[in-house]
Amino acid sequence: MDTRIITDLNEESLSTLGTMIRAGALVAFPTETVYGLGANALDPEAAKKIYAAKGRPSDNPLIIHLAEVADAALYCEVPPLYKKLADAFLPGPLTVIMKKKPIVPDEVTAGLDTVAVRVPSHPMARALIRAAGVPVAAPSANLSGRPSTTCAAHVIADLYGRIDAIVDGGESEIGLESTIIRLDGERVTVLRPGGITKEMLCDLCGEENVSLGASVTEQFIGSDVPMAPGMKYKHYAPRSQVVLLEGEDDAFVSFTAKKKGCGVLCYDGQAERIRAARPAEDEAIIKTFGRQERREEQAHGLFAMLRAFDDEDFTGTVYAPMPEKDGIGLAVFNRLIKAAGFHVVKL
Ligand code: TXA
Ligand code: MG
């Protein structure tokens, strides 16, 4: 399949892409979180094409993307709490699970009676959804099992030739997927942490009303029923084995300095110290993903760095620090511990 790359969204290209989406095409597009692989959410055949292009198990439901907050009522039963959350956080990196209306095909929700709804803030995403005139079902635009894509080059690496078009909107600002929540009356359960943090939800809804789903911090055990089906898969997996090291900064530096031929994913400032402490002849691949105290820099850089190890065909062990779990750090922790398959070593 020929994949068109579009760098300029103007009236003409938007109209073409809108027509393509309505007709069942697959179009990758930028959002403020990660790139999405979009298709007409009202077309069961288009949803099936998404699963095929990604190599994604079809029991893993898709998020539907809307241009306007108010459109949610067309596709699901909207509880009062949704409006309060939307006033505070939408458009933005928050996905809300709600009871679906029959118009949403089972292929999109993988047979669930709920649907995940998101109103992205990225202007190109909103323009594209408006041009399509239909809700846009979109998982992250990566091959299943690979890190989500945060720029067009990553989408091209995974999906070129498998999809109809890629809209290039530069780098995704946040770099990790949206926060996913479930609502029960006044209560909010975080199924996947992201840019709308637990602290932000607590400020709005009251600490007593916000909890973390087990899938945020714990490993999926075969017999459990996951609340967000996608959380059970070993996600964001680079080709190398990732191991998280829990301990002080100095202990991280001295541990990684002693490991022969390893990979290191570390904070800015640690790389120089690790290199200085290593024997000159033993080359390690050392990459940084932001300053230790700046969780948003780590979120922004994480997936690109995991991909960079793959691009160098590195298949050894990559050591990374256990992230701090406050703010968007919780999302960084959640993605890294999954990339590591829950492999943690205490220093
Ligand atoms: O930031 C994002 O959310 C990105 C961009 C493209 O918007 N999208 C994204 O989609 O991350 P995806 O498909 O990679 O992740 C969606 C997650 C999966 O873990 C899936 O199981 C869960 O949402 N999910 C979708 N519908 C659900 C539902 N009805 N109930 C529970 N979980 C659901
Ligand atoms: Mg994904």
What's the predicted TM-score (pTM) here?
Answer: 0.95
Confidence of residue 280 (pLDDT cuts 50, 70, 90): confident
Q: Report the nearest atom of ligand 1 relative to the CA of 138.
A: 6
Q: Is the CB of 121 under 6 A from ligand 1?
A: no
- 196 within ligand 1 shell (Cβ under 6 A): no
pLDDT at 157: 97
- Digit-coded pLDDT (tens) for 30-74: 999 999 999 999 999 999 999 999 998 888 999 999 999 999 999
Q: Are 158 and 149 in contact (CB under 8 A)?
A: yes
Please choose, from the candidates 19, 18, 39, 14, the residue with its C-alpha nearest in 3D space to the C-alpha of residue 138: 39
What is the model's pLDDT at position 79? 97
33 lines ligand 1 (CB under 6 A): yes
Residue 197 predicted with pLDDT over 80: yes
Return d(Cα 299, Cα 313) in angstroms, integer. Answer: 23
